[in-house]
Amino acid sequence: MRELGPVSTGAVMARDEKAKPLYQIVVESILDQVNSGQLEANQRLPSESELCRIHSVGRNTIRRAIGELVNDGVLRTVPGVGTFVVDTRLDKTAEYLFGFSQEMRFLGRTVSNRVLEATIIPADPVLSRRLQIQLGAEVAFLNRIRLMDGEPTAIERSYLPHELCPGILEYDFSTSSLYETLSRVYDKRPDHAEQVIEASLATPEVSQLLGLTPPAVVFVFHRETRMANGQVIEYVDSEVRADRFRFFTNLRLFATK
């Protein structure tokens, strides 16, 4: 946990801001620093006296601005310790297999999708190995941007053996869940998966699609999803915004003699 040093926010009484209350100018300045990443999750703000100096305002103005941001869930105050930026990332499980739509709805979020591409492609050597199908076999390719509460959050490229779910791309996956469609329509229920997660810098294309300002970090997923009989039903590559999620799992400690 590191403490923020002095950050200049400019003159608070600039000509075009004179009509705004001083506390609101401070609120907007702190919000700008949080949204830009200058103030990071769990980072401690400077002391009240330092904030007064930075913003050239009185202590009551700073206290009112901080109170507003605490009420809005942007900051939290720990008595005797300081004021911190709230970590707004969602906890996403790395232990259980959920579809994105299912998991976000469970967390109380509104999920929507923007389909970038939905087409049939031939299996190349990589897809042939990943999906355990013949080279050149038909693969249903679905490329989507996943939105959470209207904000682009993830890019997901799904590859499915078309023989197991013929005609699946006729469904509208801007509104439908892929896993629910597989289970309900095709009786192909995803059961378990092997997944690799790594952190990476977003490419320019990914940054543009997710509305990120480079350089930005994303979580990169490579997942083989299987049915209960072990047959692969999906391979997916995806990038997820690292500023919106953190991952958790349950661990057991095995004692040794």
Helices then strands (H, E): number in the chain? 7, 10
Question: Sign of the CA dihedral 18, 23, 26, 30?
Answer: negative
Across 13-22, 70-79, 119-128, the highest mean pLDDT is recorded for 119-128
Q: Are the beta carbons of 141 and 168 closer than 8 angstroms?
A: no
Residue 229, number of CB atoms within 10 A of its CB: 6
Q: What is the mean pLDDT of residues 141-163?
A: 92
Q: Which pLDDT band, with edges at 50, 70 and 90, does 254 fall under? A: low
Residue 42, pLDDT above cutoff 80: no
Residue 81, pLDDT above cutoff 90: no
Q: What is the mean pLDDT of residues 172-176?
A: 91
- State residue 132's pLDDT score: 95
- State residue 255's pLDDT score: 53
Query: Three-state SS across 199-226?
Result: EEECCHHHHHHHCCCCCCEEEEEEEEEE
- Predicted TM-score (pTM) of this structure: 0.62
Q: What is the mean pLDDT of residues 80-94?
A: 67
Residue 204, pLDDT above cutoff 90: yes
Q: Is the backbone peptide bond immediately before 215 cis, with ω within 30 degrees of 0? A: yes
Q: What is the mean pLDDT of residues 154-182?
A: 94
Residue 247, pLDDT above cutoff 90: no
Q: What is the mean pLDDT of residues 182-199?
A: 91
Q: Give the CA dihedral 189, 191, 195, 201, nearest 10 degrees.
A: 40
Residue 4, pLDDT above cutoff 60: no
pLDDT digits (tens, 9 = 90+) for 89-139: 555 554 444 555 556 555 566 778 999 999 999 999 999 999 999 999 999
